Structure 1
Amino acid sequence: MNAFAPRGEPTGTTTWSPPLPDAPGFEHSMIETPGLRTHVASIGEGDPVVMLHGFPQHWWEWRRVAPVIAAEGHRVICPDLRGSGWTYAANPGFGPETQMVDVVAVLDALGVERAHFLCHDMGAISGMQLSYRHPERVRTMVQLSVPPGFMEFTPKIMPAFAHMPALIMHREGRSLRGLFGPRYAARPMSDATVDAYLAVHGRPEVARSVASMYRGMVVPMSMRLMTGVYKRMRLLPPTLVVFGRADGPFAEPTARRICRNSDAHADRFELAFVEDAAHFVVDDAPDAVTALALDWFASEG
């Protein structure tokens, strides 16, 4: 493993640009893998738990979840995915599984053979891919706000894709603040919280990655879900899919309907629903997400 801080400075200094948002207890490093320098925030010691953030967020999404899970005897690893946070990519392009490949490379660099996973939104897409492509690396999977790969398509979930056209055509400098509005968050986020997520989008590399990510990763993956590609594969890791009850496209009746044949596609699969939470379920209800994750990790086997 080659870990380094930006600009050649020792890890733990304050030379990150823009400055990292405050989150006590985390250690920060850069992990070098071919073509990628991944910022990783970590906390705790013990069995590894990998947390993959959503969009347009970064490692800080886990600030209220990771310390509690670490206190239960886990080493929590929160990388910034390609195109997000403080991670730097030599090639700004995206393919459908680029982020998954990046995650595997980071696990290898850190010497993590198998881990529990807690993943949200864009990170849940990569986590789901990892479960299918490399099930030997996944002890358990908790997937937030994204349906399982074997879902049955229904037009009722189409509102979940309403934001995609604007992001496919996104241009540098265009605001993303609307993504944190009441349609996606059950509890209003403070300006300070939204600023902490979006400050890094001032980096040209991050700002330019939005359209590339949606065109190269999200659109192809949406087509795979809608055309049943993953129905022809077996989901082996124990998988818990969690939705906020206020997440309209995935209201409980719809979510249960699209997952009703889980026994035919997965070895062990369950659904859970969080009160007073929408798409941004981690920010809406961090305590509930933490409790569900710890319970699922403990139920392995």
Structure 2
Amino acid sequence: MRDSGGSGSGSSHESGGGARTGGGQVPRLDGPWTHRDVAANGARFHIAEMGDGPLVLLLHGFPQFWWTWRHQLPALAEAGFRAVAMDLRGVGGSDRTPRGYDAGNLALDVTGVIRSLGEPDAALVGHDLGGYLAWTAATMRPKLVRRLAVESMPHPRRWRSAMLTDLRQSRSGGYIWGFQSPWLPERHLVADDAEMVGRLIHEWSGPRLPDDEAVDVYRRAMQIPSTAHCAVEPYRWMVRSMARPDGIQFNRRMKRPIRVPTLHLHGSLDPVMRSRSAAGSGEYVEAPYRWRLFDGLGHFPHEEDPAAFSAELINWLKDPEPDR
């Protein structure tokens, strides 16, 4: 299985249109950004980019793809940054490989894209699973990460502890336990035109619900062949590896402190990842760490209130000495 959402590695695409994958359609959606593909870590990754300046690499979460950053791309570009949103392995327009969905390898995808873009480093901005990978990349390849901004996701060690010892958090993240069943989660995700995707986004959002058109885009993207399987594989690894040598080794590696300025963003009404679970992540950061709780927002602050989120992010990125 190695589907992709576009043509060969290194090719460029104009904004808009779509690239066919099997029976589905990867939405390379219209906007002021440019679409192209880059090779990294043995795979091909779709990116949308705009602007010039220091690189800010945006990492989406589940059940979304690069388009979730459609508000932040122009805001960051206007603020003087090179803004790039990538599709993670197996999602959107990136390669769907038969393996490679452990957190360590996915983090190497991220740092490999930084190198392929010809940049010495990047400020990583990750949401949900993308946040988990941003924490991981900053630990594994600290020289490639200039700053770290994580949204709606605790540090991996904090996530593991909360899921295993906090009953309320374990229930809130119950969908992850459900993903451990073979094949059924994939079938549920794509059934009825991916109705489950729309339901999860609505249930996980705060009062400011995403518009129906945005939800339809995410539902279409999940129906691209093999996407649902690839989208749940990282969560299978996160749980199944807990008692395996690879997971134990990963957990030990994550003890290494983060030594770059870190911004931690969270919605006060997040029903998936409780703010209490995320708030203790600062203990793993030996650098300026800023915690920002968005009142009245859920799991997707960057979409629920894009103006407030972008302002917070850009102000922090431009702050030469972000304090605690």
TM-score, normalized by the shorter chain, greater than 0.5 = yes
1:116-195 alignment runs, 5 A limit: 116-149=123-156, 151=158, 153=162, 155=166, 156-169=168-181, 170-172=185-187, 173-174=190-191, 175=194, 176-177=196-197, 178-195=199-216
Bigger CA drift: 117-126 or 92-101? 92-101
1:45 corresponds in structure 2 to: 52
Letter in 2 for 1:298: K
Are the aligned partners of 1:128 and 1:143 in contact in 2 as well (CA < 8 Å)? yes
Q: Deviations over 1:204-227 (max 9, x none)?
A: 1212213423212465479979x9
Determine the C-alpha separation between the residues in 2 that align with 1:192 and 1:265.
Answer: 38
Which of 237, 244, 251 is equivalent to 2:267? 244
What TM-score results when the alignment is normalised by the length of structure 1? 0.86
Whether 1:105 and 2:107 are equivalent positions in the alignment is no
CA distance in 1: counterparts of 2:232 and 2:275, whole angstroms: 31
Which position in structure 2 is the counterpart of 1:273?
A: 293
8 Å contact from structure 1 (residues 49, 76) kept in 2: yes
Higher mean Cα deviation, 95-104 or 67-76? 95-104
In 1, Cα distance between equivalents of 2:276 and 2:12: 51
Partner of 1:286: 306
Structure 1 counterpart of 2:297, which letter? A
Query: CA offset at residue 181 of structure 1?
Result: 2.2
Aligned length: 294
2:186 is aligned with what amino acid?
A: R
Provide the C-alpha distance between the structure 2 equivalents of 1:215 and 1:251, rounded to a whole number of angstroms: 21
For 2:27, what is the secondary structure of its paired residue? coil
Unaligned runs of 5+ in 1: none
2-structure distance, mates of 1:243, 1:222 = 29
* Secondary structure, counterpart of 2:107 in structure 1: helix
After alignment, is 60-69 or 29-38 more displaced?
29-38
**In structure 2, distance between residues paired with 1:27 and 1:264:** 36
Which segments of 5 or more consecutive residues in structure 2 lack a partner in the other structure?
Answer: none
Instruction: Indicate conservation of the 8 Å contact 2:100/2:106, yes or no.
Output: no
* TM-aligned CA deviation for residue 7 of structure 1: 3.7
Give 1:184 shift: 3.9
Letter in 2 for 1:16: A
Q: Check conservation: 2:204, 2:272, Cα contact below 8 A.
A: no
1:6 equivalent in alignment to 2:18: no
Contact kept? 1:52, 1:118, Cα under 8 Å = yes
Give the distance between the partners of 1:270 and 1:62, measured in 2 at CA: 21
Partner Cα separation in structure 1 for residue 306 and residue 124 of structure 2: 16
Give the SS at the match of 1:6: coil
Quick check: 200-209 or 262-271, which moved more?
262-271
Moved more, 44-53 or 229-238: 229-238
| 8 Å Cα contact 1:128-1:148 kept in structure 2 | yes
Following TM superposition, by how much is the alpha carbon of 1:108 offset from its aligned partner in structure 2, in angstroms? 1.4
- Equivalent-residue separation in structure 1 for 2:278 and 2:90 (angstroms): 29
Contact 2:45 2:94 in 1 (8 A): yes
Check the 8 A contact 1:186/1:246 in 2, yes or no: no
2:237 is paired with a residue whose SS is: helix
Tell me the alpha carbon deviations over residues 175-222 of structure 1, each in whole angstroms, 9 at most, x when there is no partner: 332211234444222321111112122221212213423212465479
Give the structure 2 partner of residue 69 of structure 1. Answer: 76
Residue 11 of structure 1 deviates from its aligned partner by 2.0
Over 3 Å counting, the alpha-carbon distance change for 1:239 and 1:222 in structure 2 is: farther
1:85 Cα offset (Å)? 0.7
Letter in 2 for 1:204: P
Distance in 2 separating the partners of 1:191 and 1:265: 38
Match of 1:16 in 2: 19
**SS of aligned partner of 1:279:** coil
* Aligned residues of 2:87 and 2:93 also touching (Cα < 8 A): yes
Do the aligned partners of 2:256 and 2:284 also contact (CA within 8 Å) in 1?
no
Change (3 A) 1:229 1:87: same
